[in-house]
Amino acid sequence: MKPRILVTGGTGYIGSHTVVELQKAGYPVVIIDNLSNSNVKVLDGIERISGIRPDFVEADCTDIAAVRKLFNDYPGIKGIINFAASKAVGESMQKPLLYYRNNLNTLMNLLEVMGEKEVEGIVFSSSCTVYGEPDVNPVTEESPIKKATSPYGNTKQISEEIITDVINSGAPFKSILLRYFNPVGAHPSAEIGELPNGVPQNLVPYLTQAAMGIRKELSVFGDDYNTPDGSCIRDYIDVVDLAKAHVIAIERMLDNKSEEQIEVFNLGTGNGVSVLGLINAFEKATGVKVPHKIAPRRAGDIEKVWANPARANNVLGWVADTPIEETMRNAWAWQMKLRERGIM
Ligand code: UFG
The per-residue pLDDT for range 41-54, each reduced to its tens digit, is 999 999 999 999 99
The pLDDT, as a whole number, for residue 300 is 87
- What confidence tens digit (pLDDT) does each residue in 276-322 have? 999 999 999 999 999 999 999 998 899 999 999 999 999 999 999 99
Which residue's CA is the closest to the ligand 1 atom numbered 15? 232
Q: Distance, CA 183 to ligand 1 centroid (Å)?
A: 10
pTM over 0.85: yes
Separation of alpha carbons 91 and 186, rounded Å: 24
How many whole angstroms from 262 Cα to the centroid of ligand 1? 28
Average pLDDT for 264-269: 98
More confident residue, 195 or 227: 227
Closest approach atom of ligand 1 to CA 152: 36
Q: Whose CA is nearest to atom 30 of ligand 1?
A: 129
pLDDT for 343 beyond 90: no
Residue 93 clears pLDDT 90, i.e. is over it: yes
Q: For residue 196, count other CB atoms closer than 10 A to its CB.
A: 18
Contacts of 281 (CB under 8 A, 6+ apart): 273, 324, 325, 328
Cis status, amide bond into 138, omega within 30 of 0: yes
- Judge contact between 112 and 121, C-beta under 8 A: no
**Which residues surround ligand 1 with Cβ inside 6 Å?**
87, 89, 127-129, 153, 182, 201-203, 206, 218-221, 232, 234, 275, 298, 301-302
pLDDT given for residue 344 in this prediction: 76
Residues 6+ apart with CB under 8 A from 97: none
At 194 the pLDDT is: 96
165-211 confidence digits (pLDDT tens): 999 999 999 999 999 999 999 999 999 999 988 899 999 999 999 99
Angle, vertex CA 122, rays to CA 265 and CA 41, nearest 5: 100
User: How far, CA to CA in Å, does 79 sit from each of 2, 70, 119?
Assistant: 11, 14, 6
Cα–Cα distance for residue pair 293/279, rounded to 1 Å: 11
Across the chain, mean pLDDT equals 97
Report d(CA 53, CA 47) in Å as an integer.
Answer: 5
* Distance between Cα 303 and ligand 1 center (Å): 10
Q: Which helix (H) or strand (E) is 329 found in, with range?
A: helix 324-340
Q: How far is the CA of 202 from the centre of ligand 1 (A)?
A: 5
Q: What percent of the chain has pLDDT over 90?
A: 96
| Probe residue for ligand 1, chosen from 137, 184, 202 as the CB with the greatest number of ligand atoms within 8 Å | 202
Question: In a mutational test of the pocket of ligand 1, which residue from 154, 217, 226, 275 has the highest number of ligand atoms less than 8 Å from its CB?
Answer: 275
For the CA of 278, the closest atom of ligand 1 is 14
Looking at residue 248, its pLDDT comes to 98
Distance 290 CA to ligand 1 centre (A): 17
